[in-house]
Chain A
């Protein structure tokens, strides 16, 4: 099946088995390896991408489902102003260690802030509850999000 969608702002088309996971199509067909596979079962969030602006686990999304929709990965998001704010905030708060979870967390944070530009600690924790991090212990990530919400006020 030919599947057309918007990927990181550009119209693309692939001819693959429509039940293939979006995760595999992004990594293998488009070389977007910022999208990571952790659990492959929707539990860890390392494969998170934005689908029409909302964070979803791409390991659970068959590519046939994204027909005509907008997909954004960390590679596309990097070019935005908001990313720059998040990058600085994550660096300042020490919220990145091995970095495996980071692309997924950044996408989940974008989804969270676009819904709720000034989240409380509790809202940040709930908003990121589908993203696991083995290194940071989460406090630094929560601080990074608060910092970004403050410094990037008006962007979200």
Chain B
């Protein structure tokens, strides 16, 4: 059995993927840990792997019309260096892993890994990002919230490769991001929160809220956002209880070694309150 492939073009990669179902390996920062073996022995992959991070068709950032295109094998370090990458995504990336890991970890790997604690996900949900998936049969574009279906679960087909992330280039007046972890570096999120807001005068023109690590997938409520749109800033307080109730229903955290469900829920709702009302209690 061939254990690893190193295609030289994306077309070759798609062909290999179609024929062998080889597992794409981008930065390897999730896969090399997941399949770790004894020192000196190759990792215990249960299927062939295919290196993809060197493919130039998967590298780089570009603007097309009113969308920003980030190719999947762009590293987290490269994202931080590009002036066109949305600020809220950078705020999240800055707090991911460590500079060492960010030098190899890719955005595509973080998305496909589909961890509830995946830190690029809440910003990508809030920014209405879409992913472009390719196979030998063609291409499809899927909104991020339809791409991820559960912890570690996506709609990626066995013959597909994630090629691009497309982000509408919207601007926001107010950008709020918080990651709650045990320490600054190499700590996975207990809770993360994204809030984006645009005002027109004293009315809310656009508002986006997303929570990470508090449910099987990122929590974003279009209902709650709709209730907030168009109202005046000083009217938020009146409807706040019903907004909070909406999120409280969707926030279904678990207990794990990083934190407890109760702590996660309390902190999430405090962050929501802080973002909407400017006070935590």
Residues on A lying within 8 angstroms of B by beta carbon are 1, 17-21, 24, 28, 37, 40-43, 45, 48, 51, 54-57, 59-62, 64-65, 67-68, 108, 111-112, 126-127, 129-131
Contact = CB atoms under 8 A, between A and B. Distances in A.
B210 to A, nearest CB: 25
B140 interface: no
Contacts of A43: 186
Contacts of B104: 51, 56-57, 60-61
B58 to A, nearest CB: 13
Contact of A59 (B32, B41, B51): B32
Interface stretch (B59-67, B93-101, B157-165, B233-241): B93-101
Nearest to B53: A65
Interface of B: 3-4, 6, 25, 27-29, 32-33, 36, 39-43, 45, 49, 51, 53-54, 77, 97-101, 103-104, 184-186
Given A18-B6, A112-B99, A126-B185, 7 more contacts: A20-B42, A42-B97, A45-B100, A54-B77, A55-B100, A62-B51, A130-B98
B99 A127 contact: yes
A54 B103 contact: yes
Contact of B4 (A18, A24, A127): A18
A19 B185 contact: no
A65 B100 contact: no
A141 B41 CA distance: 33
Contacts of A131: 98, 100
Contacts of A62: 4, 25, 28, 32, 43, 49, 51
B6 A126 contact: no
A51 B104 CA distance: 9
B186 A129 contact: yes
B32 A21 contact: yes
Considering residues B27, B97, B100, which has the most beta carbons from chain A within 10 angstroms of its beta carbon?
A: B100
Considering residues A20, A61, A62, which has the most beta carbons from chain B within 10 angstroms of its beta carbon?
A: A62
Contact of B3 (A17, A28, A59, A108): A17
Given A42-B33, A60-B28, A62-B32, A126 B99 contact: yes
Contacts of A48: 100
B6 A19 contact: no
B4 A111 contact: no
Contacts, number: 105
Given A17-B3, A19-B4, A57-B101, A129 B184 contact: yes
Nearest to A53: B103
Contacts of B49: 19, 62
Given A42-B33, A130-B97, A51 B3 contact: no
Contacts of A111: 99, 103
B46 to A, nearest CB: 12
Contacts of B25: 62, 65
Contacts of B186: 42-43, 129-130
A108 B100 CA distance: 8
B101 A60 contact: yes
A1 B28 CA distance: 18
B103 A56 contact: yes
B99 A65 contact: no
Contact of B185 (A1, A61, A64, A129): A129
B26 to A, nearest CB: 9
B100 A57 contact: yes
B103 A51 contact: yes
A108 B103 CA distance: 11
Nearest to A40: B36
Contacts of B33: 41-42, 60
